[in-house]
Amino acid sequence: MITLTFGEIAAAVSGRFEAAGTDASEFTPVSGYVETDSREIEPGGIFVAKPGDVTDGHRFVGPAVDNGAALAIVEHTVDVAVAQIVVPDAVIALGALAAEVVRRVKAAGDLTVIGITGSNGKTTTKNLLGAILSPDAETVMPRNSFNNTVGAPTTMLRVTEGTRYLISEMGASGPGHIARLAALARPKIGIELKVGMAHAGGFGGIEQTAAAKTELVAALPADGVAILNRDDPRVVAMADKTPARVVWFGEHDESDIRASDIVVTATGTHFTVITPDGDSIPVSFKVLGEHHVWNALAALAAARELGVPMDVAVRRLESVSRAERWRMEVMGGRDGVTIINDAYNASPDSMSAALKTLALVTERGQRTVAVLGAMSELGEFSGEEHDRIGLLAVRLGIDQLVVVGPEARRLHISAINEGSWAGESVYVETADDAYEYLEQQLRAGDTVLVKSSNSVGLRFLGDRLGELFS
């Protein structure tokens, strides 16, 4: 974070400074990282005592100080010897501090903020764009998938006076969430990837999801750029909702940054990118899955707007070996067994894309095995969406389906109803049960997809299988 005094922070968050038994004053400077997890605090850091669903951050002010916290932002005074700023709401204060820091860095330097949203692909696109931009200038982007009202401001607070690019993932589980994040970061470039059924339970349906995702481009300035997916009709409709200039990406002929000749293999995805300048550049993209081509195009479009030559951007894109930990991560290899661990998250769209990729990359004569857990946060749409995935697995000809956990059992039943009567679909209660089954059943040459929402924890099953066949 940039250097601010305790008094400046108190003013930014509308809080009250208290020395709390220390010799600190309102003129004491601080520049450490801001964290809401006491275990992540480093010397000189700022700890935000956020109340949680399970526990209260105020209980961890002491451990944060033990780790070196110089300041705590709290909702009530804590009996710990550390300078404190007392605020009515710690999460709102975190956002207010982030907004002030970003405002100051913009005013003093050359900071450009890029906002990314979409039902799928935000983290992958963030990583791809970061790989393209970071060799040229200081680039700040989220760790993991820090994209909510806590994670996004925490990322914003990592900017310094020398930061040139801030890439901000903007996730949401309900209306207004993205608008609030956009108001904090004030992005100049906004990327809209896709509108799908992820978090549909919180929004109330896909049209409500589309309206919420539109909040990003609606917040862009008139001299900004909205980078939109020309292949998604709901994203196309956003062009009329933004004051910014529109740049299209996709496979559609009207795309400004267009992909053609897409070929998906077990070693990656190959395509040609076509630019408005008439260039056609072949891309050997190591990230597995045709659905990641959209993410690559979005990153290339943003990079072009920021002045990176397309051939340079493509070369840096090709250096990325995986989207992210547990996202289409290729593991294994012994006896020709390939494990695709894609169990960091799951929505109907990403589940469908992963199954299609499994079918595409497996060579003739080899078995396809899909180990699937539940897709969370679908609300009233959960049953029908799990049904749809079960039907898709059968229609794609997946040789063996292993369904894990009671929340996903309907997927197994749908597969049976569609024709998987002879053991092609197996249901097990736990990830341990699945491991024991697969340990005995997998054979040389199998390609195995492990896919579920993060809360189900199948990513760890994927790791175990990858280690088993390493």
Q: Provide the token pair at 195.
A: 């509108």
CA distance 264 to 32: 44
Distances (CA, A) of 347 to 71, 149, 382, 385: 39, 21, 10, 9
Token pair, residue 120, equals: 């799928």
Beta bridge partners of 331: 339
Residue 124 is labelled as binding a ligand = yes
Q: Is 405 annotated as ligand-binding? A: no
DSSP letters spanning 162-186: T--EEEEE---SSTTHHHHHHHHH-
Is 127 annotated as contributing to ligand binding?
no
Give the E-state strand segments of 238-351 in sequence order: 245-250, 257-265, 268-274, 280-285, 329-332, 338-341
Q: Specify whether the CB–CB gap between 61 and 72 falls below 8 A.
A: yes
- Does 119 count as an annotated binding residue? yes
Residues in the chain: 470
Is there a binding annotation on residue 121? yes
- Return the ∠ at Cα 74 (arms to 72 and 77), rounded to 5°: 100
DSSP E strands in 356-398: the ranges are 368-372
Binding-site positions for ATP read: 118-124
Binding-site positions read: 118-124
